[in-house]
Structure 1
Amino acid sequence: MPQPCSIKDCTRTPRWVCDCCQQNLCLQHLNEHNDLLISQLNPLTLEIKALEDCLQALNIQKTIDNSREKLEEWRDDCYKKIDCLFEQKCRELDQVINEKVDQQREELNRIHLKITELIDAQETSRQDIDLLTSTIRQLEININNIEQICFTIVTSPLVIDDTFIFIKETTEHELDLSTLSPVYETIHRPKGSSGPLTCNDRYLLIHQHPNLCLYDREMNIVKQTLWRYVNNTQNIINTDQHENTAHG
């Protein structure tokens, strides 16, 4: 004889195993369980609607603007570096021309002074006249040639690598590492070495016991010298760290 429905006091014949309770139920109780499951969809629908409203109300523009601000700072910094290099090369170009002009001006002044001295002395010779005339003609050629100077400007394309900018999601309480540069190279520090001293866009100056070392951007040692002031260096670093802590 088959077992009755699993619901207490129900004597009906079971029809199927209920998905939610894994019991053998009759048709009536299967329908009741099904209705119960369906009734639970309505609250879920309300939750979905609430989440849709919440999503709609999100101030994503603020999040985007905060991140874009960092990208714009990076872009502005790159523009400044390009402008700085451009201005430097313009000054070098100006210097080349100005040096040539100054050189001819000095020669003109020298010849002018020589002629003035001869006039004041009221004494000269054919050799003086010929030499002065020849020098003046050469100066004329040199001055005219200055305007004809052509420069070959050799430039390299600015290669922008996508890895220059790395976008990583951070949680609210997680340290924002986007303000820090990614690890570029690891340098072995001998025991007794002091902390980093200083750096700029091109070089890093650190103490590698017993030497003071200057590294380039590829982490190659450009120059090093024996450093005899380790204690003084450590005192300076400790003092600086203490002041930073006191003012922080």
Structure 2
Amino acid sequence: MASSVRSCSIKECKRSCRALCLCCQHNLCLDHLNEHNKQVNAELPLLTDEINSLSHQLKNSIVIEQSCLTDLNQWRENAHHSIDEFYKRKREQFEELMQRRRNNQKKEFNEMKIKFKEIIKNQEGTQEEIDSIKKSIKFIEKDINELRHIHLNINQLLINDNLISIQNETTNNDNHLRKQQKRGITSPDESSAKLMKSSRWEIERQPSGITDSMRIDVLSTFGNLIDTYGSSKMLKIVKDMKNWLNDTYEKQWNVEIFDKHQYQSSQNIYSNQYLIVKETKLEWTLVIFKEIS
């Protein structure tokens, strides 16, 4: 009659099994059961280290989040500053226009009044002089009336959603993690490149001297200038871009814009404060750099 006692599942072990290990479903003798138990317990300190490391990473992610929010807040402040500067410039232009028109009106009126007093004084006015005074009166009245009805053509400020891109943005974090585990995690650089290619801008060079918040600010201003002036006003865009940079980020900034036939990527810039970016719609290349004094 065959023996009903099972042997230990470990090869070359002739001892009888004493228990079924629930974690590996093997029949083990007492010695191998104890050895297996020691191996399992030996993994616990390693798991403790991994858990502590993960805890440290989670705490650091809060720091990263705060850093991103700091950049976002800085972008908002810069955007508000850009709007304030634009408003200030347009208000000054408007006030200068109004003042110039009023000065011309006063000048025309004073000249007409002096001429009229001479005619009254001498009582020798001709019909031609009287007609001239009437024309001056009508001209001044017309100009005053036009100033009363002057208006501004104000276009709505359009904000492109691509001004700020969030890497690995997802609506369901659990699904995102599961998908990443199946297909592999995309590196931040690859994600950033994909986002850039799918948007209006392609960043060609951005050394450490240009922060991400400054880059966002620059692209926002550059895009607004293109949308405002159009592709036919490249020199005007260069001038306004340079003025904005010098007002916002101190002096000595230089701005160059090249179309697809002009730009050569091999040009040298002797500074770490520069940015080279391509606008994909017009195929313009924007180069900004701070001149070394």
Post-superposition offset of 1:78: 1.9
Report the CA distance between 1:114 and its aligned residue: 1.2
Q: Which amino acid aligns with 2:142?
A: N
Render the CA deviation track for 1:99-158: whole Å, top value 9, x for unaligned. 3322221211111221344456x3423636743663465266336515631415230332
Residues 6 and 135 of structure 1, relative CA distance in 2, 3 Å threshold: closer
Greater C-alpha radius of gyration: 1
**Which residue number corresponds to residue 134 of structure 1?**
134
The 1-side partners of 2:161 and 2:13 are apart by: 74
Higher relative contact order, structure no. (Cα contacts within 8 Å, ≥ 6 residues apart):
2
Residue in 2 that maps onto 1:115? 116
| CA apart distance, 1:5 | 4.0
Are the aligned partners of 1:17 and 1:25 in contact in 2 as well (CA < 8 Å)?
yes
Separation of aligned partners in 2, 1:26 and 1:146? 103
CA distance in 2, matches of 1:5, 1:36: 17
Q: Distance in 1 between matches of 2:263 and 2:210?
A: 29
Unaligned runs of at least 5 residues, structure 1: 185-198, 210-215, 222-239
Secondary structure of the residue aligned to 1:151 is coil
1:100 to 1:9, Cα distance in 2 relative to 1, 3 A? closer
Q: 2:192 aligns to what?
A: none
In 1, Cα distance between the equivalents of 2:28 and 2:125?
139
Aligned partner of 2:15 among 9, 12, 21: 12
**1:90 offset after TM fit, Å?**
1.8
Structure 2 residue aligned with 1:235: none
SS of residue paired to 2:156: coil
Letter in 2 for 1:80: H
Unmatched runs of 5 consecutive residues or more in structure 2: 168-186, 190-206, 220-237, 243-254, 265-277
Count of residues in Structure 1 that have an aligned counterpart in Structure 2: 197
TM-score by length of 2: 0.45
> 1:57-97 CA deviation, whole Å, 9 max, x = no partner?
x4665444433333233222222222222222223322343
- The change in CA–CA distance for 1:11 and 1:155 in structure 2 (over 3 A counts) is closer
- Which residue is equivalent to 1:79? 80
Q: Which residue of 2 aligns with 1:179?
A: 211
Alpha-carbon distance change, 7 to 102 in structure 1, aligned in 2, over 3 angstroms: closer
Moved over 6 A (4+): 6-10, 15-22, 175-178, 206-209
C-alpha contact 1:104 1:142 (8 A) present in aligned 2: no
- The two structures have a TM-score, normalised by structure 1, of 0.52
Identity of aligned residues (%): 16
Q: How does 1:1-248 map to 2 (within 5 A)?
A: 5=8, 11-14=14-17, 26-29=28-31, 31-37=33-39, 39-40=41-42, 43=45, 47=49, 50=52, 54=56, 58=59, 62-118=63-119, 122-125=122-125, 127=127, 130-131=130-131, 134-135=134-135, 137-138=137-138, 141-142=141-142, 145-146=145-146, 148-165=148-165, 167=167, 179=211, 181=215, 201=241, 204=256, 218-220=282-284
Q: What is the letter of the counterpart of residue 69 of structure 2?
A: R
Determine the C-alpha separation between the residues in 2 that align with 1:161 and 1:132.
59
